[in-house]
């Protein structure tokens, strides 16, 4: 039975997912003209990040017309990304870094960190949607066959305790295992480049 697993694994390759998403995010970032001198006005800082997020979303989602940023709504989404690098008070801390000029990298560092988190988020969403679309289009028989096929081809990559017995944990959680498989590929490629 053809489960489409080979197609899915090929489509999940970082060259087709993460790298492409990062390329689109970089294109959006390069399109936005920013004076990298210290940003001392809170509202201009907030609007800059909101505009950048809207531009990134337009590029990543391949929308012809740019998505308009509504600061009150978009800012909350921006904060989710800022919290990852700057903690619970991410907006305030990021503004202080941007305002400082060169200290801690200034505005350039804030923008670099922000775009990296946004790219990771959208790359993860793309992968998750590919895996779940594939998984939910399989019949029960197809899901069982896909688990067996994955184990036949990739059991050597899975910790021994996960494949003991009939590998129920792998078969039961195959979508999550596939997401981890992708992360493993990314890490292995980074090590190879390092």
Residue ending a domain, among 88, 123, 158, is: 123
Tokens encoding 181: 């498989």
Whether residue 160 is found in the same domain as residue 66? no
Whether residue 178 is found in the same domain as residue 156? yes
**pLDDT computed for residue 83 by the predictor:** 95
- CA 31 to centroid of chain Cα atoms: 20
Domain that residue 56 falls in? 18-123
**pLDDT computed for residue 17 by the predictor:** 79
Question: pLDDT tens for residues 53-84?
Answer: 999 999 998 887 777 778 888 999 999 999 99
Q: Helix crossing, 106-136 with 18-31: angle to 10°?
A: 140
Which has the higher per-residue pLDDT, 38 or 142?
142
Whether residue 141 is found in the same domain as residue 84? no
pTM value?
A: 0.81
How much is the mean pLDDT over the chain? 85
Stretch among 20-29, 36-45, 78-87 having the lowest mean pLDDT: 36-45
Share of the chain above pLDDT 70, in %: 93
């Amino acid at each position: 039975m053809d489960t489409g697993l080979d197609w899915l694994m090929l489509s999940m390759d970082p060259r087709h997912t993460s790298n492409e998403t990062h390329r689109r995010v970089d294109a959006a970032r390069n399109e936005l003209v920013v004076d990298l001198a210290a940003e001392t006005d809170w509202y201009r800082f907030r609007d800059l990040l909101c505009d950048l997020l809207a531009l990134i979303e337009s590029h990543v989602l391949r929308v012809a017309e740019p998505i308009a940023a509504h600061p009150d709504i978009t800012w909350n989404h921006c904060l989710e990304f800022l919290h990852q690098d700057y903690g619970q008070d991410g907006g305030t801390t990021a503004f202080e870094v941007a305002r400082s000029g060169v200290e801690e990298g200034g505005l350039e560092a804030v923008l670099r960190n922000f775009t990296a988190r946004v790219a990771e988020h959208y790359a993860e969403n793309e992968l998750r949607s590919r895996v779940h679309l594939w998984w939910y289009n399989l019949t029960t028989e197809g899901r069982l066959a896909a688990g067996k096929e994955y184990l036949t081809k990739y059991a050597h990559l899975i910790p021994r305790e996960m494949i003991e017995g009939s590998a129920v944990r792998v078969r039961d959680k195959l979508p999550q295992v596939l997401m981890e498989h992708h992360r493993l590929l990314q890490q292995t490629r980074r090590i190879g480049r390092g």
